A = this chain, B = another copy of it.
Amino acid sequence: MKIELKPIGFVERGLPERGADRKSFISTIRIFDEYVEGLAGLEEYSHIFVIWYMDRVSGLELRVRPRRLPDAPEVGIFATRFPPRPNPIGLTVAELVSLEPPRIYVRNLDAWTGSPVLDIKPYDVLDVVERPKMPEWLMRFLNA
């Protein structure tokens, strides 16, 4: 079974390959004209999910060693947000800075310039988990 999707737009200005702090860097998403009408009302949310396609990723690794932590255990790809997944879909919770159709300005997006965008969804209170449990290696990495 094959599932065929199409971009609804692309990351016009993405995170530079090196440096740039995700939390402060403002990325631009350009939605294609035919879908712009679908953005109406999005400005009432403070945060959105950006579902994008990691088109620069190829290959599949079912086991990975997390985030350059030498003492972290090897774990399955689905226990990480790493790119070399069966379907290289990127998922990011981004802060909506401003909506200026056909463009969306966001903070915290980790997509590269040119990445195809597959969907935009609003983030709401049902997406909030208080104190989610995470592995010890990830807490160390995030310093959480």
Contact = CB atoms under 8 A, between A and B. Distances in A.
Interface in A76-114: 76-81, 85-87, 89, 91, 93
Given A40-B76, A122-B80, A91 B49 contact: yes
A126 B76 contact: no
Most chain B beta carbons < 10 A, residue from A35, A91, A127, A136: A127
Interface of A: 1-8, 35, 37-42, 44-47, 49, 51, 53, 62-63, 73-81, 85-87, 89, 91, 93, 116, 118-130, 132-136, 138, 142, 144
B62 A37 contact: yes
Contact of A44 (B7, B79, B127): B79
Contacts of A1: 6-7, 116
Give me the 4 closest cross-chain CB pairs, A-B, nearest first.
A41-B75, A46-B133, A40-B76, A41-B79
A44 to B, nearest CB: 4
